[in-house]
Structure 1
Amino acid sequence: MLPLRDLNPTIHTPVATWGVIGLNALAWVFIQGMGMDAPMAESLCRYGLIPADLFGTAPLDAAIPVTENLACTLENSHPLPTLLSHMFMHGGWFHIITNMWFLYIFGDNVEDAMGPVRFIVFYLLCGLAAAVTQLMADSNALIPMVGASGAIGGVLGAYARLYPQVRVVTLVPIGFYFTQLELPAIAMLGYWFFLQLAGGIPALAGAGGGVAFWAHIGGFLAGLVLVGLLRRPDEA
């Protein structure tokens, strides 16, 4: 299912949401070279979160698979800043477009409930919670973790708590055809969360296919909790 729009009017201009989308776009263009092999490989190795590097369990000469044909080593690595930088890197066009689309649809109303400054704090905390959850699930991984998905998972969790009955116009596949349905946010986002669990449980046994499902789960749960702490008092 793909959300097309929500039927939830925005009160304030979502400057923080647009700012985050802009930063991700700038990183994709100017740091990652819009997916070209050389800048992509360098960005994933330098700014991606590599669990084994963070915990110091990977040898310095270990080959880190960053693209299908390229790898790098961990010499002169600085893993701690990647807890933040990985949130602004992506693995391909589909990855960044889908992430930014979800943020575009659901971020504005969550920002409305918090204000821009609290929303930025919330977004980064959800991203960190997502990273910690993924690190706990696979602390020895050598594959770089990148993407805003964990932080955006927090936005989805917050939206599910704030606006569970708001209708979301969703593109739903039925066989070879697609139709549009208006679903309650709790149904659409609950289905998304179920998909993450369905992928995350096998991933614990090493069958995750490189997708950081537990980051999505951790971000979503963090969003459910943190929105209660960071929403504006007049929105409580």
Structure 2
Amino acid sequence: MVIPVHDTNPARRTAWVTYALIAVNVVVFVFMPGLAGSVAGDGSLAQLCHLQAFLDRYAAVPQELIHHQMPRLVPTGEVAVGPQGPGCVVAPPTYDKSPELSVLTAMFLHGSWLHLLGNMLFLLIFGNNIEDRMGHVRFALFYGACGYTASYGFALLNAESAEPLIGASGAIAGVLGAYLVLYPKARVWVLVPFLIFLPLRLPAWLVLGSWFGLQAVYSAGEGVSDAGTVAYAAHIVGFLVGMLLAWPLKPGTPPPPEPPGLLFGRRARPRQAW
């Protein structure tokens, strides 16, 4: 998979909403309870139990979204020692949880630095142009709409799943879908892993189209060992919704600047006259 680094598609105004989303995601990640130990791999059982309780309370759970009811038992964040050894305590929930609101909070939670940085990189590169085209308020609504439809779309396909769903990937997939519709010919600098990381400047339709194709393959469980832990179906739903919502803006969208004589990142040699 290629790694995007920068696009040659300057925005006309500052992407305040994009920058604010990135800042909030980073701050929330830093202050998530118990996460530092779990990421480092040396967290105590108490930290891991605390993290599990936090995610069960603030993450989106497909079962809860579809059936709109809380489970009978949830982690409390405490540790107890039983016949099988120490473990996390579960008990009836002492709080009320809104499944609808949990979709919003889940969009700002991430499970690792890699998960966070990958999402924020895509949002930083492609979000500014979509915000520039839509405007700040409409972009914020668009981002939320993509995130919500991605979460509920995944929940419909996994209605009995009790695994917490976290991350901004569904909303950011919507941004990628909108970018593909509005700026398919924009050039994107990417790093291609081929023995070394080879820098190339590729058209957005190739970068984002290949990304979507990989998500479809991964969603089918092909080529990956963690298909059950990554919500690839949410990426697909978010991407398609982003394309659909951006389509009415396509006729009035000015084309991105394209340096003359560039072919996949390299300047074409002028033909000699014979």
| Structure-1-length-normalised TM-score | 0.87
> How many angstroms apart in 2 are the aligned matches of 1:72 and 1:104?
39
> How many angstroms apart in 1 are the aligned matches of 2:92 and 2:167?
20
Percent identity of paired positions between Structure 1 and Structure 2: 39
Encode CA deviations 1:91-124: one digit per residue, 9 max, x unaligned. 1110001100110000000111001110000000
State yes or no: 1:60 paired with 2:72: yes
Q: Which runs of 5+ in 1 are unaligned?
A: none
CA RMSD of aligned residues (A): 2.7
State yes or no: 1:41 paired with 2:52: yes
Residues 33 and 110 (structure 1), Cα distance of their counterparts in 2 relative to 1, 3 Å cut: farther
Contact 1:4 1:171 in 2 (8 A): yes
1:50-129 equivalences under 5 Å are: 50-54=61-65, 55=67, 59-61=71-73, 75=93, 76-78=95-97, 79-129=99-149
TM-fit CA distance, 1:72: 5.6
Partner of 2:23: 22
Q: Which runs of 5+ in 2 are unaligned?
A: 39-46, 77-86, 255-274
Bigger proportion of residues as strand: 2
| Structure-2-length-normalised TM-score | 0.75
> How many angstroms apart in 1 are the aligned matches of 2:89 and 2:105?
19
Contact 1:113 1:232 in 2 (8 A): no
State yes or no: 1:219 paired with 2:238: yes
Residues 234 and 186 (structure 1), Cα distance of their counterparts in 2 relative to 1, 3 Å cut: closer
Contact 1:110 1:155 in 2 (8 A): yes
State yes or no: 1:135 paired with 2:147: no
Contact 1:164 1:184 in 2 (8 A): yes
> How many angstroms apart in 2 are the aligned matches of 1:234 and 1:199?
35
> How many angstroms apart in 2 are the aligned matches of 1:119 and 1:27?
21
Q: Which has the larger radius of gyration?
A: 2
Matched residue SS, 2:107? helix
TM-fit CA distance, 1:26: 1.8
Encode CA deviations 1:32-86: one digit per residue, 9 max, x unaligned. 465445353343111111112332577413679xxxx868666235133112111
Bigger relative CO (Cα 8 Å, ≥ 6 apart): 1
> How many angstroms apart in 1 are the aligned matches of 2:228 and 2:7?
31
Bigger proportion of residues as helix: 1
Contact 1:28 1:35 in 2 (8 A): no
> How many angstroms apart in 2 are the aligned matches of 1:18 and 1:134?
27
Match of 1:198 among 199, 203, 217: 217
Match of 1:159 among 179, 187, 190: 179
> How many angstroms apart in 1 are the aligned matches of 2:229 and 2:153?
15
Give 1:60's aligned amino acid: R
How many pairs are equivalent?
228
